[in-house]
Structure 1
Amino acid sequence: MLKSVHHIAIICSDYKKSKAFYTEILGLEILNETYRKERASYKLDLALNGVYVIELFSFPNPPERTSRPEACGLRHLAFKTNNLNQITGHCQKHGIPVEQIRVDEITGKRFTFIADPDDLPIEFYEE
């Protein structure tokens, strides 16, 4: 039946700001960028290490969605990292607030959170 996650779709409020965040700061690769005139919106296909993972959409005046604390729906987007200190330092260098590093009580692994330009929680989980 299911083989893997195909992609995650994110709707942003400021396309240029979110595009820069996901590509320039997080380093995702642009696979394809499409402007859909009939919808006045962009669709940006992004990859991580060559694997298609995120569709970033813009729409005129999207409604706000509650994302914290513990709202119903998608809780957060998590990325695996081999060096949590490196990624948190990189984020801080770009002026992105980083939550205090915590330790997963079940796995003993370190993790932390930042937020994208629309306050979507982004987790970095150290493997």
Structure 2
Amino acid sequence: MDETRQHATSRDFKGAFIPKEIWCNPELNGDEKLMWGEIYSLDNDFGCIASNEHFMEMFGFNNDRKAQRLIKSLKDKGYITVEHDKRNDSRVIHVVGKFRHLDKRHMSDLEAMRDELLGKFKM
């Protein structure tokens, strides 16, 4: 089994889910929609840390500039955020909007706010 197939079967794969708000969005081209879907599937508690090389292998791009352009386009259009850490030359990508990943800390904060609001209505 080659390395790409082995990686695809061993990762925590959420499946190929692209919501209709992305899939039917005329602002995004097909490559942007697929890139968003891959970033979404890799966005976990600490974000998507996939390299341009990962996207090259995943989509069969000839060079990493295409991945860079697609990530920049999604960022410029407001569908993802990209954080660069110059100390260790890495980046973290997060999906934004209603499909963003919420880690346990954010979920507990939301639950606390919900409980507080519900408590006010019970008075």
> Same fold by TM (over 0.5)?
no
- TM-score (normalizing by structure 2): 0.35
Larger-gyration structure (1/2): 2
Query: Which structure has greater helix proportion?
Result: 2
Structure with greater proportional strand content? 1
